Structure 1
Amino acid sequence: GETGASGPPGFVGEKGPSGEPGTAGAPGTAGPQ
């Protein structure tokens, strides 16, 4: 079968105590074939 579509990217993290912005989440992985 065809590979599933990738999931949506993760949410952006909140700003940390140092004031730096959080990192964006990793994109979703492809579904099973």
Structure 2
Amino acid sequence: VLSESLKSKVSMRVAAYIVAVARVAEAMRLRGWG
């Protein structure tokens, strides 16, 4: 999360949200929902 925050120049809260959304999107893709 820290590396994502530094890379995107955003707050830790936003970075954590981005990571969470990415994980959900990946899970959906693996299950064939996307």
Which range, TM-score by smaller chain?
Answer: under 0.3
The structure that has the greater radius of gyration is 1
More helix by share: 2
Q: Which has the higher contact order (CA 8 A, sep 6+)?
A: 1
TM-score by length of 2: 0.19
TM-score, normalization by structure 1: 0.18
